[in-house]
Chain A
Amino acid sequence: MLKLNLQRVVKYVDRLPLFTRLVIVLAVALEMAAVLPWWDIRAWGRLEPDLFNVWTLYRANTYPLIHTDVIHLIVNLFAVTPLVERFEAEYGTLTSLALFFGPLSLLPAVIYVGIERFLLRSNTSIMGASIWGFLLIGMEAIRAHRTTPYLVIRGQPTIPMWTTPIAVLLLTAVLMPGSSFLGHLCGLAVGYICGMGLIKLLAPPAWALRLVEDKLNLRLRVPYYVSMDQVAHGRFGVLPLTTVGAVPTSVLQLRRDPRILKLPPYLSLLCILVGAAWLFLLPLDRYSRRTYISENALLPGQVHTYFGGSDQNVFRAYKHEVNELVGKSNAEFNDKLEPIVKSLGLKTARQNFTYHAAGHTYSGENLYAILQAPRGDATEAIVLVAAWENVKHEVNRNGIPLALTLLRYFKRWSLWSKDIILLLTPDSIAGPQAWVDAYHDAHDTSRVASLPLKSGLLQGAIAIDYAQENRFESVHIVYDGVNGQLPNLDLINSIVNIAGGQMGIGTTLQEMWNHDNGYPDRLRTMLRGMLKQGLGLASGAHSSFIPYHVDAVTLRPFGEGWQDEMAMGRLVEGTFRSLNNLLEHLHQSFFFYLLMQRERFVSIGTYLPSAMLVAANFTIMAIALWMKSGQPATPVEGVTPKAKTETPTTTAERDLFLPLGVVTLIQSLSIIPLYLFNHAPESMLTPLFATFAVINTLLPPALSHLLTHSHTPITPQQYNLIQSFSLLLLGMFLSSLATLNFSLAMITGLLTSPLSFVRPAKTQTARWAVTGLLHAISPTAVLVAGAVCWGVDVTSVLREAAVGWHVCGTYSAVVVWCVWWPAWVAGSVVVLGGRGGGQGNKIKVV
């Protein structure tokens, strides 16, 4: 019966002897060190025949400990650990150390290098512990051969026992394509020789080892040590953490060990540091990938584009028409444009919308038209959006005439498999949002009118933001959606491909006008993208489409160059032709990615661990604090540390009611700022914010005062519990959020990370100092700092947030006020909860 007995596995691992542990630790540590970008440890340590000389003799010791990748390491460790353990148990730790870092590595290396250099005249470098594995298997086989010379199959002694490793060798060579047959063979040969008795010659003299052992008293000092004289001293000299002879129940004991409680702060600090450092590794070539077109049907840039010629005459005429309308009302330009669109042979309709946010009314009328696919059914559609104003409130002077001209041109083709919808909106945020909501019947009919005319499933949307008057140089692709959702990477790749490969137009991302593809620029692009994603606001007319799983981007020409409007039109035409090719909805490529250059990205599998590590730090601390709260209140005086270690088995009763009540209260208070900031009119926002900042400063001391001066004063245990619950919630929220909006979770996690480490301050000065520092990372302070840093006033930030909340459904405000803020308040209350002098005595009594 094959049944994995976990307890036995634990016991086995627990009893691994010293040298085996050393090998495992070294191999793992070297593998981790291989991450370092500036030191290619593999090139340094591997056995390279041509580089093998007296000066690089260290390679003969390092090559078995270095592995090509993690899988190689795991496979080898699984294979080698039992064998090394067996060897060590037999020969002792010191002998193993001497042999494995001496002849047992050197001999195979010398044989291998000799064969490679002089017989094969090639230079294949090898690494990995498998050479030891084969060596030991060879030894075992010789030993087994002595007792049972033949493997008996069906009564016939058929296979000589010593040949069995060769079968393993062949199997390995077949199944693991990257493995070195020759290297393994060398190891095996040395193993055979050793098995035949050479090992006695190779091993250092026993008396010397025994001398060392006795002089240093290794048997008693070093845990897991295997003595030379196993008969005299038993297998292990010292068993860890227990008296000699006791059963090792260290795993269970570990739980009660007070030392374990000292570990979590370091662990969580490590999590934060690794998580933050991870981000900075991402732009390196090793961690980011080149983009590629995943959906073969797209065939970007494979078609000739014919837009141009006399279409430019039409474009100029439409531009005159549009220029006449600048400054006129929404209804007027719709009245003017609708007949033009109708004359193209399209069906038109209008839609009214009204949003109220931050005391303003955002209302208008969308005009849209459907070019029915000539032979198609109304099953699928692509959208071309041209907003009258872009997000910076510049009039889309070229974009609207271009969209009209393109539609007129598209009408002449009969190849469209999908309807093409032209959407002309008065602004870039509310108009598209109202239209998309109504298209998917997710709108509030009291504010947004239903659409009288509809087509099929939307397969993609391209927004043209062409306010620039002169000829342009490159196209800026804006791809951030509401709440940090992103369009399918294939769409961006196609546009980059069509623009760069076919039209010779450059493309940029995230307003990085000059990108040299070096590390700093990549990092900057990525961080800008993360910031935008974290804010979750709509960044263009395309943003509203993305939450409905409609892949969309905004194309914005910029710079001084020689590309004209027709080039832009051809880019849109090429993109539409690609989208038209799609048989299926865009689904092949990534939806979660960070772009750092137009042709480099990291996918979610690579970047997510950083946010998860940061979120995990809170959970670790929450668990640690919970355990700490379970320990009885430590009497301050008269107890030696020794006595402390003897009583950890008892658990103190936890008083949960007050901590839960406090955390719930703070959490429910968070509704107030969320409501106020989203519903106040714009004129009230600044006074409201100032008032809130003052209240925010006063709230933690007030709460703290309330808690300490109630009739049953609060205990340190309850402070631990308050912090534990608050951090537990934070960790939970952030780890879930990381899968939805990575950047928001990462930013919030980093800004709240000090909250893991705050403790009730012991002295008055420390208390106020820490409180002051905490105020520097409060949501209000960060908001002001951010506003100052980007040169905008706080009011407009709050207004944008309110508009995002009411129009687009941005949830960043919820994260700030309902996740970040409560955690911060709880942290501040905990800091202020420390008692100095007399009050501390009072607690002791309790």
Chain B
Amino acid sequence: MRQFLSFLWLSLLSISVFSSSAAADSDYHEQLNLRPLPFSGLLASFNFRSNTTVSEFEKGNFRFFPRSLGQILQHAGTRELHLRFSLGRWDAETWGASPWDGAREGGTGVELWAWLEADTDKEADHKWLTLTNALSGLFCASLNFIDGTRTTRPVMSFQPEGDHSTVTNMHLLYGVLPHEVVCTENLTPFLKLLPCKGKAGIATLLDGHKLFDASWQSMAIDIRPICPPGGECVLQIEQTIDMVLDIDRSKRPRGNPIPRPPPGHELPCDASKPYHSHDTCFPVDHAANQEWSLSQIFGKPMKGTCPLTDPAVPPVCLQVPDSRSVFVSGGVREKKNPNHISRCFDIPPSTELEMVLPAPDDVTAQSTVPTDIVTPKSPLLYAERSFTGHGQERGGVQTILRNPSPDTAVDFIYMESLPWFMRIYLHTMEARVAGHSANKSSLIQQVYYRPAVDRARATQLEVRMRVPPASTVFLTYDFEKSILRYTEYPPDANRGFDVAAAVITVLNKGQIQGEGESTTKSGGGGGDGGTTKGGRFAAYTLRTTTLLCSLPTPDFSMPYNVIIFTSTAIALAFGGLFNILVRRFVAADEGPEGGLAMVVGRLKGRLLGLLKGVKGR
């Protein structure tokens, strides 16, 4: 009885603790969210989160928090850090809103922003340099190339996510490397930061071949201090990997990845066509969402769960309508969520998870809106950016911003950090609503512009805008391309120069909408959205694609060859000859003496004189 009571007490205690601040108490948890997307896509969101108390952290007691990263943070005085490695583009038209409402998304390449504690700007720059160099080593990325020309200090676009009530002198620095190609060498150190190091749990599914074959993928690291009311402040590290896999492509065996045409009889054909015959086939693929299994998609089944993870959080969730049946391996318990579009799986430790999603029963459904998957939520804003104009002297940038909502205007901040060799003409910047030319002025509400300094600082442009409901806004500006110095061109200069993605931060309109947004987030994004407080700054974040700007490029090889050949010829032949020609040859006794010989000669003369004197005497 006593035992029972104590058990009850303990369990009650634990429940109460969980309910009060679930985020703060569980030290580590991980979760995989799978969501089929239209056109045979599959979104897999991996989320790993661990906490450590600030006091432990400052004492150097690392348990779940990776020591390597922790020491870098301490050394560089970093209070909050966000790092993104991304590849590909999120196709919002097809896939809807991006996971986590874009909060874990980055532009193509590497993106890093951090709040540093420093007294002066100079000190902040110094710490930033330390931070980028250290992270560069840790993640095998060229982060050390984030120098002054690629660093900006955003004013409006970013707000700290954590609690920084105790610190007053914080500096936000933002750097981006659009041309960095994210690959396996970045994934390995990323996995090493995890408590289970990719040996157990959902991280076993992360394989470089599959991850980097994805249509879109984003690896994110977010570190922020969180102070629950009344509790002790904790430092939270959240590692996220989101990827969209093409089911067709992923199901191909690794040994035979070439998409050879299938045998004619395996081709799914539309037999209703009048010309249909054994050698004529109107294909019907891409119409229905196909069946898949976990080991087909990821190349292997999931190996148990990480023993360190919080058992209260189900490690795998799948978002399909309840009507679809899912087969899982034995011992795995399926738990359907009350919203009827997602289910989670509790997996006993050391059990291999295999999951099979069979084709839906009603194969005949040929409608354009598939009913067998969860319809993606449409994002708050669509953005598409492209260059206008042609030629190598000047160009323009055009961003098309579309608000799909029929009744709500969208307020957002559009931020660009442009390289210095794109000299923008700010006076040409204009925003116009497609269709009618009225009320131009009300679209742009506020502009923060920090012009570039040649070879020293990038252009920073932040525009606070509003797009009226159900309308499309064109934001355009012109720029001039400058001519670089011969040595400033990178290798493969004729490819063009990458221009980083624009960051669009849709602002959250007050607390009311914030609450509504947090509920939708848990449905749309997948993971439990309790990481941040209700009144978040950004309701939605999105990035445009990067751009490729072609600058006037010289023909490198020609002057190089000419210079080298002529210099060598001149140096060898004419140098020596010229030397002999212009030198005046004189007899040794005619020329002036110099150096040591002169001193020796004088001494000799003196000595001789002395000797003569002595002799004469």
Contact = CB atoms under 8 A, between A and B. Distances in A.
A379 B588 contact: no
Nearest to B548: A379
A441 B394 CA distance: 13
Contacts of B493: 584
Contacts of A309: 260-264
B390 to A, nearest CB: 4
Given A317-B273, A454-B384, A409 B261 contact: yes
Nearest to A347: B93
Interface string B395-424: 010100000000000000000000000000
B495 to A, nearest CB: 4
Contacts of B396: 441
Given A154-B588, A345-B39, A454-B384, A310 B249 contact: no
Interface string A299-313: 000000011111111
Which range contains the number of B residues in contact with the other chain? Answer: 35 or more
A153 interface: yes
A78 to B, nearest CB: 14
A344 B282 CA distance: 12
Interface stretch (A252-260, A368-376, A703-711): A368-376
Interface stretch (B118-126, B210-218, B228-236, B452-460): B210-218
B365 to A, nearest CB: 15
Interface string A421-442: 0000000000000000000111
B550 interface: yes
Contacts of B260: 306, 309
Contacts of A584: 492-495
Nearest to A440: B390
Given A374-B215, A375-B213, A375-B215, A412 B248 contact: yes
B201 to A, nearest CB: 26
Nearest to B259: A412
B234 to A, nearest CB: 37
Most interface-central of B216, B260, B553 (chain A CB within 10 A): B260
B113 to A, nearest CB: 20
Nearest to B476: A441
Contacts of A845: none
A442 B280 contact: no
Interface in A391-418: 408-409, 412-414
B289 interface: no
A23 to B, nearest CB: 25
B429 interface: no
A175 interface: yes
Contact of B249 (A311, A343, A374, A457): A374
A377 B108 contact: yes
Contact of A442 (B281, B284, B389): B389
A372 B284 CA distance: 20
A297 to B, nearest CB: 9
A413 B213 CA distance: 11
Interface string B359-398: 0000000000000000000000000101111100000101
Interface string B565-604: 0000100110001000000011111110000000000000
A749 to B, nearest CB: 29
Contact of A317 (B280, B492, B591): B280
Given A379-B545, A380-B548, A584-B492, A310 B263 contact: yes
A430 to B, nearest CB: 19
A378 interface: yes
B283 A441 contact: no
A785 B60 CA distance: 93
A155 B279 CA distance: 100
A379 B264 contact: no
B259 A440 contact: no
A456 B591 CA distance: 73
Interface string A455-479: 1110000000000000000000000
Contacts of B495: 583-585
Contact of B585 (A153, A376, A583): A153
Most interface-central of B266, B279, B281, B577 (chain A CB within 10 A): B281
B592 to A, nearest CB: 13
Most interface-central of B263, B280, B573 (chain A CB within 10 A): B280
B573 A171 contact: yes
B108 A314 contact: no
B88 interface: yes
A317 B494 contact: no
A200 interface: no
A457 B264 contact: no
A769 to B, nearest CB: 51
Contacts of A287: none
A409 B261 CA distance: 8
Contacts of A154: 585, 587-588
Interface string A280-318: 000000000000000000000000001111111110111
B91 interface: yes
B573 A175 contact: yes
Nearest to B577: A171
A233 interface: no
A548 interface: yes
Contacts of A313: 264, 267, 269, 279-281
A413 B258 CA distance: 8
A585 B550 CA distance: 9
A156 interface: yes
17 contacts: A155-B587, A171-B573, A175-B569, A309-B261, A309-B263, A311-B261, A313-B264, A313-B279, A343-B286, A375-B88, A375-B216, A377-B108, A440-B389, A442-B390, A457-B548, A587-B494, A587-B553
Given A343-B284, A441-B389, 12 more contacts: A171-B573, A306-B260, A313-B279, A318-B282, A376-B89, A378-B545, A408-B283, A441-B396, A456-B545, A457-B548, A584-B492, A584-B495
